[in-house]
Chain A
């Protein structure tokens, strides 16, 4: 157990978050081991994205503790979380339609010249091209506004932006949502590659059980703002996950009927 604790790059302890009358997270506990890929499942509105935003420093928790690499932290802002190696691919991607591919890839981590801090566009373009090639994303032109790209291409850029950053704790909020089968497989392959290299730890939110069982070391299920299920992937199955979620749904319906 002590060994487990030391292995955790991230611990979320008793974190709660309310939005007015809605309780998005209630005393949630979650941990992420070094080099592990953790799959996070849950219904719409279960609180998955809220948890990611809190870990990424974008939103503040109402209460609870967050421990990053053994040290308790209270994030001041996104930059603070990023300086600790945490980076998030948000569900809404956080791309700026009016900026081009290169500018979006380097948004908030621009390279600038010296002594006059002007954007080092040529260098950023070269690095963008290299990064996209390395991952295997094919985007013919880098100088077009991302508004003109397809949903899948946009998602690929958002993922590439985070994966090629310095971050070693990577949060992926439904990275496959807009992807076709082939592009989705490419992202899963990318996650697989990172998993084999073992340098980064990943939390991946997905709705597809098969994807999660394929690409993750461990599965967490979040229901009503709490983790209700936590097992290594080899010990669970599509049937079991399905059973739990469907059971939950049936129970809720019976309760509604009883009222």
Chain B
């Protein structure tokens, strides 16, 4: 565990313009640098391409961003406690298949949702138990469950895609009246619709955004203003000291593993419902996990534990989404995309580290 013990230094004189000082205040926040970097990226793409700041494109952007924000928030709660969960990729994939299986048993959609999320939670509990009680490093444990649960998904699905129950699209033709040059004309138009459950849980245009913002707000309050959040920081910052102070370290760790897995399962269901079908693509699942971890890390959460931010994870995910969407809009070929994304992540991290150093006032050493 690295700690820097500095003597407190007097507050630096805040001079300059008002905008300058509020920017400086923003940068003193842990999530400040990623917020600034994200805004710069948005401005850049808006200037570069007139189609970027359109409603249509913002709708395109959402699935690049909202699911990862939720996954990253779960990861933040674990990383702050000094652990990591690599298995979220597989849990994300596995949960909608469990949803499908429960539905095959004739259960209602809401029951299927609850039951499949319980399955996700069980994976989290297993991760937590093996890490906190047995004492295996979470990196190894969740690498194991990443593979194991991925394999389990292939077994129960027979490696074949399924249609997501409740997300069936029904089309009907309606008569729509237009006013053209003062004349009313009525034309038949095809309208696609999905059921209410699907619209709430992923298929509605703003459904994932709604859930992402809800999860971010709730977990931000939990991390910064609740006992649970404080104990999470204590467990990640000084595990032995936390135990001496009487904190139930194992309980906190297991709880955070369960939370992370349930959020991953929930995102899996949102995404499957949005696409109305789900394919057992384990490679894609691992990639999803890497993106979520990246979002958490570039948001300003330390892998070492003790420090992290939920708001930062939101912006980390937004930054990655904006980059992907912006570069795609620019017609950057898929071959270059990951390369550029990788460099952008490294750059964002460098800025984070630099700003972090300035924030802590420990100079440039």
Contacts and interface: CB of A to CB of B under 8 A. Distances in A.
A99 interface: yes
A120 B73 CA distance: 24
Interface stretch (B163-171, B235-243, B275-283): B235-243
B243 A58 contact: yes
Contacts of B306: 96-98
Contacts of B243: 58, 78
A148 B241 contact: no
B237 A112 contact: no
B246 A108 contact: yes
Interface residues of B, number: 27
A95 interface: yes
B184 interface: no
B55 interface: no
Nearest to B243: A58
B50 interface: no
A118 B221 contact: yes
Given A141-B8, A148-B6, A92 B227 contact: no
A99 B230 CA distance: 8
- Output the residue of A56, A107, A151 with the most chain B CB within 10 A: A107
Task: Please give me the 5 A-B residue pairs with the lowest Cβ-Cβ distance, nearest first.
Answer: A78-B246, A94-B241, A94-B244, A98-B237, A98-B306
Nearest to B224: A119
Contacts of A98: 233, 236-237, 306-307
B226 A119 contact: yes
A125 to B, nearest CB: 14
A144 B361 CA distance: 12
Given A58-B243, A98-B307, A99-B237, A110 B230 contact: yes
B225 A118 contact: yes
B227 A96 contact: no
Interface of B: 3-8, 221, 225-227, 230, 233-234, 236-238, 240-248, 306-307
A96 B226 contact: no
B226 A118 contact: yes
A150 to B, nearest CB: 6
A97 B240 contact: no
Interface in A192-230: none
Nearest to A113: B225
Contacts of B240: 92, 94
Interface in A92-129: 92-99, 103, 107-108, 110, 112, 117-119, 121
B227 A97 contact: no
- Output the residue of B4, B234, B243, B306 with the most chain A CB within 10 A: B234
A97 B307 CA distance: 10
Contact of A108 (B3, B237, B247): B247
Interface of A: 53, 56, 58, 77-79, 82, 88, 90, 92-99, 103, 107-108, 110, 112, 117-119, 121, 140-141, 144, 147-151
B245 A78 contact: yes
A96 B82 CA distance: 13
Nearest to B246: A78
A64 B7 CA distance: 45
B226 A117 contact: yes
B5 to A, nearest CB: 6
A108 B233 CA distance: 13
A92 B242 CA distance: 11
Contacts of B6: 147-148
A111 to B, nearest CB: 10
Given A96-B306, A141-B8, A148-B5, A119 B230 contact: yes
A107 B234 contact: yes
Contact of A96 (B4, B225, B238, B246): B238
B78 to A, nearest CB: 16
A103 B230 CA distance: 8
